[in-house]
């Protein structure tokens, strides 16, 4: 069955135009003003009038919790939430149980996804104290990269950013993309002890950014940048949360030539420290959500291309795991279903154009990872598409939330934009609030040169 989307406003590569789009054999076959349906009856025709067609979001930082932590979420449940949110491809983190520190464990995740991931997928190889040689064996055309995100470097103490000697070794030897979580653990420990002296175990949540402070981020990011630059190696910085860090990054180089790239996450662009009072643990993330100046400055850094992409850091925990006092409430929260709708609020209030938004959620993700045949609306590319109504308000409720953990930091929020349909490899996988297909996504493929 072929599909034609008629008279839809296609937003792609910095401009928009109204045309018809023909989808056949998983791919975008034709984009033309008026496509003739030859052999009517074998066509599924969709009226796109008044709607927008975007390339699906490619989210390079999610925690889907499988294997080992499946009470929080799994590849099946979270990939469904992702496609409902217009995310058609994702890259997943290694802090599952066991941690993804061998090629064998990495392949096991691909095997699970090949059976039940609704979106396209790639899985990061984890890096830790004892697996450098193993981690370096990944095939760059088949695996998105190496990361320490969510992992402890040295048993239960410290993260990789605190081990410059090891970073040196990693960057000297690696020809893969290395993506890092950048915070300094010593500074965080010091800040924790100081606040504990005052508040004991009940530190108010608004002090989370005082513990996971700007200084902790900047010190670690400067250290990592120095080492990566020395080796001219391919570094990607996850979830930059401060303007001070964004200002360390270069915006004079075209995206295709950057050796160092960085991202902002949805929660850091949407919330600020003013929201801790109302939302408390629900917005406790690492790195912490910081000031309004940081929130607004991160958006500006995206517009100025100091920051290159937008990701979610989707990290579900159960309601129970998010409850309790400061030290008990876990960091992280579910986001994939609401990331695009939340970012589209920024389009509505004039902070970013739709064209620039999808550059950051699709085009440039494809560029920095060198993803093959995705991330753009181009003839011959896979049909990973989102049909969007910019003016169709809806409210986030537990009933329409698809995460396995069944809560959202956006609960009760009213979004102005609604995702009407999501296509993955040409199949409609989500339509009018319903997951429609039992199709599975594909493993992402990458060009060799990073």
What's the CA gap between 171 and 180, in Å, rounded? 12
Residue 238 CB, shortest distance to Zn ion, in Å, is 5
**Residue with smallest beta-carbon separation from Zn ion:** 181
Q: Which residue lies nearer to Zn ion by CB, 181 or 236?
A: 181
Q: What angle do CA 26, 28, 32 make, to 5 degrees?
A: 155
Q: Which residue lies nearer to Zn ion by CB, 10 or 265?
A: 265
Residue 62 CB, shortest distance to Zn ion, in Å, is 11
Phi-psi region of 133 (alpha: psi -120 to 50; beta: other; left: phi over 0): alpha
Counting contacts by CB under 5 A, is residue 181 touching Zn ion? yes
Pick the piece of the chain touching Zn ion (CB under 5 A) from 62-70, 142-150, 321-329, 386-394.
142-150
Biggest CA–CA distance in the chain, Å, is 76
Counting contacts by CB under 5 A, is residue 374 touching Zn ion? no
Q: Which residue lies nearer to Zn ion by CB, 273 or 313?
A: 313
Which of 49, 54, 43 is closest to 12 using CA atoms? 54
What's the CA gap between 401 and 176, in Å, rounded? 36
Pick the piece of the chain touching Zn ion (CB under 5 A) from 145-153, 166-174, 323-331, 370-378.
145-153
Pick the piece of the chain touching Zn ion (CB under 5 A) from 101-109, 146-154, 347-355, 437-445.
146-154
The number of residues that bind Zn ion (CB under 5 A) is 2
Other CB atoms within a 10 A radius of the CB of residue 363 amount to 22
Q: Which residue lies nearer to Zn ion by CB, 145 or 426?
A: 145
Residue 378 CB, shortest distance to Zn ion, in Å, is 32
Residue 265 CB, shortest distance to Zn ion, in Å, is 9
Q: Which residue lies nearer to Zn ion by CB, 66 or 149?
A: 149
Mask 102-141, x = binds Zn ion (CB under 5 A)? ----------------------------------------
Residue 48 CB, shortest distance to Zn ion, in Å, is 38
Pick the piece of the chain touching Zn ion (CB under 5 A) from 16-24, 147-155, 157-165, 442-450.
147-155
Residue 239 CB, shortest distance to Zn ion, in Å, is 6
Q: Which residue lies nearer to Zn ion by CB, 124 or 381?
A: 124
| Residues of span 60-99 touching Zn ion by CB under 5 A | none
Counting contacts by CB under 5 A, is residue 284 touching Zn ion? no
Residue 126 CB, shortest distance to Zn ion, in Å, is 12
Residue 404 Cα distances to 67, 266, 273, 407, 412, angstroms: 14, 20, 27, 8, 18
Residue 223 CB, shortest distance to Zn ion, in Å, is 16
First to last CA, the chain: 37
Residue 144 CB, shortest distance to Zn ion, in Å, is 15
Q: Which residue lies nearer to Zn ion by CB, 181 or 208?
A: 181
Binding Zn ion by CB under 5 A: which of 29, 66, 134, 149?
A: 149
Answer yes or no: are the C-beta atoms of 255 and 273 closer than 8 Å.
no
What's the CA gap between 126 and 103, in Å, rounded? 10
Q: Which residue lies nearer to Zn ion by CB, 181 or 363?
A: 181
Phi, psi of 418 (to 5 degrees): -125, 135
Residue 112 CB, shortest distance to Zn ion, in Å, is 22
What's the sign of the alpha-carbon dihedral 218, 220, 223, 229?
negative
Q: Which residue lies nearer to Zn ion by CB, 26 or 148?
A: 148
Q: Which residue lies nearer to Zn ion by CB, 78 or 149?
A: 149
Nearby residues of 226 by Cβ (< 8 Å), 6 or more positions away: none
In the complex, the residues that contact Zn ion under the rule CB under 5 A are 149, 181
């Amino acid at each position: 069955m072929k599909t034609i989307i008629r008279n839809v406003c296609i937003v792609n590569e910095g401009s928009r135009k109204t045309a018809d789009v023909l989808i056949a054999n998983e791919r975008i076959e034709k984009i033309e003003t008026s496509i003739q349906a030859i052999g009517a009856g074998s066509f599924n025709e969709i009226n796109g009038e008044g709607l927008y067609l975007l390339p699906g979001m490619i989210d390079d930082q999610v925690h889907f919790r499988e294997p080992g932590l499946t009470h929080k979420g799994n590849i099946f449940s979270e990939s469904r939430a992702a496609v409902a949110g217009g995310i058609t491809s994702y890259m997943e983190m290694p802090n599952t149980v066991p941690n993804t520190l061998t090629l064998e464990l990495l392949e096991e995740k691909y095997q699970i996804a090949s059976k039940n991931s609704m979106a396209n997928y790639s899985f990061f190889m984890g890096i830790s104290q004892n697996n450098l040689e193993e981690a370096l064996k990944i095939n760059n055309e088949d695996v998105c990269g190496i990361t320490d995100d969510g992992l402890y470097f040295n048993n239960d103490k410290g993260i990789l950013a605190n081990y410059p000697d090891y970073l040196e070794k990693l960057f000297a030897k690696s020809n893969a993309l290395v993506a890092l979580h950048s915070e300094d653990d010593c500074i965080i420990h010091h800040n924790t002890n100081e606040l504990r002296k005052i508040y004991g175990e009940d530190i108010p949540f608004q002090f989370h950014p005082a513990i996971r402070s700007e200084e902790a981020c900047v010190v670690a990011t400067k250290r990592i940048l120095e080492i990566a630059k020395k080796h001219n190696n391919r570094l990607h910085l996850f979830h930059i949360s401060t303007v001070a860090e964004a200002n360390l990054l270069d915006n004079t180089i075209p995206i295709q030539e950057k050796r160092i790239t960085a991202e902002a996450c949805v929660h850091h662009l949407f919330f600020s420290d003013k929201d801790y009072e109302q939302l408390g643990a629900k917005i406790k993330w690492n790195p912490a959500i910081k000031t309004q100046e940081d929130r607004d400055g991160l958006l500006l850094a995206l517009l100025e291309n100091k920051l290159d992409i937008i990701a979610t850091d989707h990290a579900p925990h159960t309601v129970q795991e998010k409850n309790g006092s400061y030290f008990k409430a876990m960091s992280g929260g579910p986001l994939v279903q609401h990331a695009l709708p939340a970012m589209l609020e920024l389009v509505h209030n004039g902070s970013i154009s739709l064209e620039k938004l999808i550059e950051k959620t699709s085009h440039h993700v494809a560029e920095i990872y060198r993803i093959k045949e995705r991330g753009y609306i181009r003839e011959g590319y896979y049909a990973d598409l989102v049909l969007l109504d910019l003016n169709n308000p809806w409210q986030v409720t537990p009933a329409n939330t698809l995460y396995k953990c069944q809560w959202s930091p956006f609960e009760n929020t009213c979004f102005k934009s609604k995702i009407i349909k999501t296509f993955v490899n040409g199949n409609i996988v989500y339509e009018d609030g319903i997951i429609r297909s039992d199709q599975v996504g594909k493993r992402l493929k990458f060009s060799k040169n990073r």
